[in-house]
């Protein structure tokens, strides 16, 4: 029961942050959800598939939490709780650091700044890292093959979004500034210098 409570708490904080940020930006006239909008071809496919995956995973997570599925010992479940909590902290920190530059998906019409301070000094993609850590944490707490399968699929789609959409967009938009940043900070975690 305690793992179910921890997992629900993780999901409430994680998705609560996501939706509160979207609502606050909407009040300022900012459309946060740019996934698939104004895109064509492979980029649209990646973004739309990623969005579908991010809807499927929490459904699978909630079902597994409700059923309290697990094939792992308590030590793995404790590790999962810690990883999930770390994921929430990373995600919330990334969203707060981005301020009103944060978007889900890329928008060629919105003028934003390249954020390189705070958590972005050690990860170019901390929001995606936060998603990954939450998914891994919940999967460790409530392990079953379906949950792992949908979580891994979503994580692959996040990676494809980063390498095929966001990095190209950032290079096109910020040019040399982004290249210098990319030379210093790793895609997921760590500094290169």
For 46-88, the pLDDT digits (tens) are 888 988 999 999 999 999 999 998 888 999 999 999 999 999 9
With 70 as the cut, is the pLDDT of residue 31 above it? no
With 80 as the cut, is the pLDDT of residue 10 above it? yes
pLDDT at 30: 65
Tell me if 93 sits within 8 A of 156, measured CB to CB: no
Confidence (pTM): 0.90
Query: pLDDT-derived band of residue 177, with 50, 70 and 90 as boundaries?
Result: very high
pLDDT one-digit tens code per residue, 112-150:
788 888 999 999 999 999 999 999 999 999 999 999 999
């Amino acid at each position: 029961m305690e793992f179910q409570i921890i997992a629900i708490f993780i999901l409430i904080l994680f998705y609560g942050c996501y939706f509160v940020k979207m609502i606050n930006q909407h009040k300022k006239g900012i459309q946060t959800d740019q996934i698939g909008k104004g895109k064509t071809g492979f980029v649209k496919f990646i973004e739309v598939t990623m969005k579908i995956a991010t809807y499927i995973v929490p459904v699978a997570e909630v079902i597994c939490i409700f059923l309290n599925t697990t094939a792992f010992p308590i030590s793995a479940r404790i590790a999962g709780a810690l990883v999930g909590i770390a994921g929430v902290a990373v995600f919330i920190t990334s969203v707060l650091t981005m301020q009103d530059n944060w978007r889900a998906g890329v928008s060629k019409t919105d003028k934003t700044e390249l954020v390189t301070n705070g958590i972005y000094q050690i990860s170019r993609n901390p929001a995606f890292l936060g998603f990954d850590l939450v998914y891994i944490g919940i999967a460790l707490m409530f392990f079953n093959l379906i949950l792992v399968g949908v979580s891994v699929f979503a994580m692959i789609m996040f990676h494809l979004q980063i390498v095929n959409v966001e990095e190209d967009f950032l290079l096109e938009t910020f040019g040399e500034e982004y290249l210098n940043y990319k030379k210093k900070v790793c895609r997921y975690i760590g500094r290169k210098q």
